[in-house]
Structure 1
Amino acid sequence: MDPSTYKRYHIHDLNSRQHLEQYFSDNRGMVFGEDGLIFPIRSLTKAFAAGHIRGDILLDLSSGSLVHHLYSACEFFKDIIVLKMKDRCIMELKRWVDKRTGAFHWGHAAKHHVDIEGKSHRVEDKEVKVRSAMQHVVKCNLEKENMTEPIVLPPSDCIIIAWLLDVISKDQDDYIRYLRKFSGLLKPGGHFLLIGCLEMTYVTVGKDKFHVLKYDENFARKALEGEDFIIDECKIHKRTAVSDLTDYKALIFIVAHKKEL
């Protein structure tokens, strides 16, 4: 397929349930478990367990209707505010938060978390905690000066971005522009946790291919440093999945903090 015909994440409709089923489910034949589930869960659990990333408000800006990357965070933040651009993603996420019939099953992710934490008896407690923390799912428009207008968000203590910058950025300038915008939502000294894919150009959801910005570790590091972030940790996980649904070469996980004024 000609890359110029790929759909754009924040312009075209994304089947959020199909996205979850293909890349984050426990379905037989789902080959992205080690990359899309285990690596982020293990990395985030370790980062939060160090004890210096905590506070009142965590802001989540992630693709689709993801939940699994927030299980560790709920132990260290009172409130998790989730920003979404698409009504379909909001509905999918709220269906899970409210325990409605037909909600996506995240029990396998909760089990991975408690197993890694060594608390395998606490699966139900973990789900209760993350649901309790995720009471604010807010629609946003990235092109507005205040992306959550008319709501004005308080400065956050931490931001998690999982795969969102990859799919909304048409080029490197776009990536830096959005990164700068997101940085403005973070307190000085606050932490920034980034999950992305390296050397990736597309992701398939159902019958549709979506554009993804291709970049490498060096670019990601320089982009953050250029926006006054200090990188505390950077981990690279080489691809294990065998599939032509997407073409990433590796995953990247970065822990950084914003310079004090």
Structure 2
Amino acid sequence: MKTLLRLQPSLWLLVLIPFLSGCNQEKDDYISKYCPGSCTIIKGRATINNGSTPLAGVTLLAQWHYSRYLSGSTIRKKAFATTDANGNYELRFLLRDDELQGGYIEVITNLDPEKYTYCQPGDFYYAGELERNTTLERNYALAAKATLELQLSNPDALGPNNSLVVTARYATAPTQGAECEQRIFWPQTTATQLLTVASGTPVTISIARTKNGQQTTENLTVQLQEGETLALPLTF
């Protein structure tokens, strides 16, 4: 004699949720580049060495992401490009009706984050930020990485009413949008902090000390070579 397992509708839903939420779709939509008069274009240039040297062979992929509650997500690969000998690239695609209403476009590159640094904001464009028949310029002004090793000789001097803030400012190219700023709020009892900066360009370091409500600021400028680690002693 067979016994049938009967579940209430609500229990069946609990059983099915893991399967429903795991339905992710990935599609190619490269054909959308054939869109005369309706294309969305993201184009620009990749450079290194303070903007003076083009970077050829960088690959870029534009894809659309959209997630739905309990029904997984959709990824559409929209366009692919490679920078030419002059560092130029162009991503061309048609925004579908649903892509205009929701989700976001992400541009992914093969740039090595362990080797290069750059200052521009993230490569995400949300619904409403891109339209059809528009062109957006996005440059990649890259610099090879270097490292500042900040060494505080007396971290115990930092207390509840004291603070140490170190800010590094530099530019990876002489163009607007290529300015970088990185900041460390020094934690108590920590003797060493590492700060990644660009090589081959001046780096201005601002050291702000606050002692019992009184602030003083010290500024200095350094320039590092590619891959160099510079030890910078500090006192509070």
TM over 0.5: no
Range into which the TM-score falls when normalised by the shorter chain: under 0.3
The structure richer in strand per residue is 2
Larger relative contact order (Cα-Cα within 8 Å, sequence gap ≥ 6): 1
- TM-score (norm: length of structure 2): 0.26
The structure richer in helix per residue is 1
- TM-score (norm: length of structure 1): 0.24
